[in-house]
Chain A
């Protein structure tokens, strides 16, 4: 299950960040999502959460009020892997 999670997540990230999917898929686990890392911001973040909900059925905004799962590519994929 979780083996195919990463490419699907990378696809969503590539879409909201307007980057190519391959470069996003090659990112290290500890790559921060926000700021200087992947450059996610509040607007693309809202879009990402909406797409995650549509794709995986996980509502991060209500299941992770502190949004800690959005620290890095790794924390987000582990958070999702535990829930799907």
Chain B
């Protein structure tokens, strides 16, 4: 089952009665549609627009603030709706099977079902009953529930980044990024399991420990499980990093490193690894071992291990008796000192 992440709404005869380009003024949105949008947003599902009409209509959407405020990344143009939906999914970085089109026109629904069969299509009436399905159920974690808000934060971040005239490093430094590393508690389990399962490019072993395995490590005195949270002046990414460590007297072993792809390029894996090295060193360990299995996705992480001085394989090892790496200047890191020894 794929959870619905975005509902793309058709405009003419769906969001409102009539055809906008033929009406003397912009038709008003149906009250029930606005209610449904609010309901979806409350479940962490994005509302967007996929409409076949003149692109100039985009600007006019602002005439209905109660509608405009509900939608992200509206797409209006003359391309076939299947193409518009593909572009929209790309823009939102979600897969097509997480997108639902709501359109009252059976012909358009048939076109989309034929050209992009991954996209589910619904009439308004069908959406009403589909809301009871698990695909539309509210998310299990606070992070997923804030998806709409986080998407808006990301838009502001993107805009600020494209308007910034200095280097990327200078831009990062202007963002006020704070990385908070804390010891995980059982309350964090749902989000940590979700994070491990969804990370691919930034997952050290390509595997996700189950909730039971994570739970056992959180309560085991021989293990240390930490989570990392990133915030910046645009908002809160929530929990985006997971690290599980097995603590031995001479060597600590890093079993799982998983970081959300949403923060790729901001130096988080390096900062988390630097903290793990320093922490293991403080506890008296002379080496930090790291389980790493190369996949077709996590090459960059493998290169990062080398960059930070890990060598060998199965597991990689890093000598902790020499100089240890720091974290990027643009990150302000707060982390626990965990080891009473």
**Residues of chain A at the chain B interface (Cβ within 8 Å):** 34-35, 40-43, 45-46, 49, 61, 65-68, 70
Contact = CB atoms under 8 A, between A and B. Distances in A.
Q: Which 5 A-B pairs have the closest CB atoms?
A: A66-B313, A45-B303, A42-B304, A42-B303, A34-B307
Contact of A67 (B270, B302, B308): B302
Given A41-B307, A45-B300, 20 more contacts: A34-B306, A34-B307, A35-B307, A35-B308, A40-B307, A41-B304, A42-B270, A42-B300, A42-B301, A42-B304, A42-B307, A43-B300, A45-B307, A46-B300, A65-B294, A65-B313, A66-B312, A67-B303, A68-B313, A70-B306
A46 B265 CA distance: 13
Given A61-B294, A66-B312, A49 B307 contact: no
A31 B294 CA distance: 25
Contacts of A61: 294, 299, 302
Interface string B75-103: 00000000000000000000000000000
Nearest to A33: B306
Contact of A49 (B299, B301, B304): B299
B161 interface: no
Contacts of B265: 43
Contacts of A34: 306-307
B309 interface: yes
Contacts of B302: 61, 67
Which of B303, B304, B308, B313 is most buried by chain A, counting CB atoms within 10 A of its CB?
A: B303
Contacts of B294: 61, 65
Contacts of B301: 42
B22 to A, nearest CB: 51
Interface residues of B, number: 15
A49 B301 CA distance: 14
Contacts of B304: 41-42
A66 B306 CA distance: 9
B323 to A, nearest CB: 10
A50 to B, nearest CB: 10
A34 B304 CA distance: 9
Contacts of B313: 65-66, 68
Nearest to B269: A42
A61 to B, nearest CB: 5
Interface in B279-305: 294, 299-304
Nearest to B323: A36
A65 B312 CA distance: 10
Interface in B292-341: 294, 299-304, 306-309, 312-313
A42 B268 CA distance: 13
Contacts of A49: 299
A40 B270 CA distance: 14
Contacts of A42: 270, 300-301, 303-304, 307
Contacts of A43: 265, 300
A53 B306 CA distance: 20
A70 B300 CA distance: 13
Nearest to B313: A66
10 contacts: A34-B307, A40-B307, A41-B304, A42-B270, A45-B300, A45-B303, A61-B299, A65-B313, A66-B313, A67-B302
A40 B309 CA distance: 12
Contacts of B270: 42
Contacts of A46: 299-300, 303
A68 B294 CA distance: 13
Contacts of A35: 307-309
A12 to B, nearest CB: 15
Interface string B246-283: 00000000000000000001000010000000000000
